[in-house]
Amino acid sequence: GNSVTQMEGPVTLSEEAFLTINCTYTATGYPSLFWYVQYPGEGLQLLLKATKADDKGSNKGFEATYRKETTSFHLEKGSVQVSDSAVYFCAREINNAGNMLTFGGGTRLMVKP
Amino acid sequence: KAGVTQTPRYLIKTRGQQVTLSCSPISGHRSVSWYQQTPGQGLQFLFEYFSETQRNKGNFPGRFSGRQFSNSRSEMNVSTLELGDSALYLCASSLPTDGYTFGSGTRLTVV
C-alpha cells in the first residue's frame, strides 16, 4: 500500500537541542516526500520536500534526506528553538492518475526554554 | 502571489443539516484536493479535482461530495451531517513544479 509511518510524540526538547523525527514510507514506486508543519489553529505549511532518492530537502535549519535503501525521510534540526514547537507531518505523494498525499500520524514537538 | 483561500474559517451546524465549504486555489493551479483532519483519524484524503473532473476519491461515504468550477475554485458538500463529521477540512492546490500548498482550513463543528 501507500502508507507513511512516523514516530509518535510528543517529543519534548530543551532549546538548542538536536531534533530527529523518524519517518518511513512503503516502497511503492518512487514518490515525492514532504514534511509539513502545523501551528495551533492553522493549516499545513510545507517545510521541505525531496523528489528523488538521495535528494536532501532543507529549509529554516531543518533537513531530511530521501533514503531509498531504508525507505526513510527522517527530519533533523541541529538546534531547535521555542518557536519550532508545532506538529510535524511526514507525507508521500501518490500518483494514481491524479495527485494526492498520504500522511503520517503527526509528531508534536514541544521545545522548552 | 495569493495563497489558497478557504471560506468560511469556522462553521457550526446541527446534525442532519448540510454544509458547503469553498476553496480558491493559487492562480494557475488546476489541481485541488481536499483532506479531513480529526484527532482520531489524522489527515485523510477526501477527493481531488483537476479541470472540473474528479480524478480520485478517498474512502468516505457518499454524503461527502465536491465539484470544481471552470476557474478552478472548488467546493465540497457534506449532507446529513453527523457528529463525527466535526473536523478541520483542508484544501490544497498543486502544480507539479510547486508541490502542494494548503489553505488555513475550515473548522466544522457539528452539534
**What confidence score (pLDDT) does residue A1 get?**
67
Identify the closest residue of chain A to B103 by CA–CA distance: A43
Identify the closest residue of chain B to A48 by CA–CA distance: B99
Regions of chain A short of the pLDDT cut 70: 1, 96-98
**What confidence score (pLDDT) does residue A80 get?**
98
**What confidence score (pLDDT) does residue B107 get?**
97
Contact B103 A89 (CB under 8 A): no
What is the tally of helices (H) and strands (E) in chain B?
Answer: 0, 11
* Phi, psi (rounded to 5 degrees) for A19: -115, 135
Closest by CA to B46, choosing from B35, B30, B31, is B35
The mean pLDDT of chain B is: 94
Pick the residue of B4, B21, B46, B48 with the most A CBs within 10 A to test the interface with A by mutation.
Answer: B48
* Phi, psi (rounded to 5 degrees) for B41: -105, -10
Q: Which of B33, B48, B103 sits opposite A43 (nearest CB)?
A: B103
> Considering only CB atoms, which chain A residues are within 8 Å of B90?
43-44
Inter-CA distances, A104 with A59, A86, A96, B14, Å: 20, 15, 19, 31
Q: What is the pLDDT of residues B8-42, one digit of tens each?
A: 999 999 999 999 999 999 998 899 999 999 998 99
**What confidence score (pLDDT) does residue B47 get?**
93
**What confidence score (pLDDT) does residue B1 get?**
65
**What confidence score (pLDDT) does residue A31 get?**
87
**What confidence score (pLDDT) does residue A105 get?**
95
Contact A46 B101 (CB under 8 A): yes
* Phi, psi (rounded to 5 degrees) for B78: -125, 120
- Secondary structure (DSSP) of B32-98: EEEEEEETTTEEEEEEEEETTEEEEE-S--TTEEEEE-TTS-EEEEE-S--GGG-EEEEEEEEETTT
Q: Which of A32, A44, A100 sits opposite B45 (nearest CB)?
A: A100
* Chain CA centroid to CA A8, Å: 12
Q: What is the pLDDT of residues B43-71, one digit of tens each?
A: 999 999 999 999 989 999 999 999 999 99
Contact B42 A106 (CB under 8 A): yes
Q: How far is A36 from chain B (nearest CA, A)?
A: 10
C-alpha grid cell for residue B68? 470544481
The mean pLDDT of chain A is: 92
Q: Which amino acid is at B36?
A: Q
- Considering Cα of A63, then A56, then A70, then B56, what sign does the dihedral take? positive
Interatomic CA distance for residues A113 and B11, integer angstroms: 36
Interatomic CA distance for residues A36 and A105, integer angstroms: 12
**What confidence score (pLDDT) does residue A29 get?**
77
Interatomic CA distance for residues A51 and A56, integer angstroms: 9
C-alpha grid cell for residue A61? 535549519
